[in-house]
Copies of this chain bind each other. A is one copy, B any other.
Amino acid sequence: MTEPATNRKHLILDAACQAIARTGAAAVRVADVAREAGVSTALVHYYFPARADVILAAFGHADDMADAVAEEQMATLATGRERVERLILVWAGDDPAIRTNWAVWNEMWQYAAHNDAARAMVADSHGRWLEQVAGLIAEGTAEGSIPATVNVDAAARRLAACVDDWGRETLIGMRTPAGMRAALAAATAHELGPVRRARGRAA
């Protein structure tokens, strides 16, 4: 969504993500995507036979971006706990690109309620996200930065639910990103117990 598109296909997908974030997937017209990309509607159909193909490809595109961002954000962090905390906060950032990506992700969920292909994408993507959170929590308990008493899977699911739900509230304007970050930090602390040094003194 940020780096300049090298080819037209990529450019069209960036444009589609912008359009989806702005008006919602259901309201996006092929002409909107074409205009946003500075291209003819015929070219959009040249790369993507049907409208639905553009939308689905844009969802996949946004999903790839999300993976890359998450990867990058956690690269420098040492403990599992730090990585969980960061991962939970990534999508509450103020960066417009983050917001766009989040909006597209949200649209993908909605689209999935009435479209089988999108449903498969969401199931896969959401599953990976849950596994990632649970994996990091497990790392934390193994290394001692998170208490061993934490139920890894249940905590991961509850935290993921908070991210999803509060993210949606933020998208609609019922919260500020800063408010969301504060609430998420509190929820993380509540789930993972008080912060302590890795391999620190027992509870």
Contacts and interface: CB of A to CB of B under 8 A. Distances in A.
A9 B106 CA distance: 33
A190 B151 CA distance: 10
A26 B160 CA distance: 27
B154 A161 contact: no
A171 interface: yes
A165 B160 contact: yes
Interface in A154-174: 154, 157-158, 160-162, 164-166, 168-169, 171-174
B119 A172 contact: yes
Interface residues of A, number: 35
A173 to B, nearest CB: 7
Contacts of A154: 183, 186-187, 190
A24 to B, nearest CB: 5
Interface in A182-196: 183, 186-187, 190
Contacts of A165: 160-162, 164-165
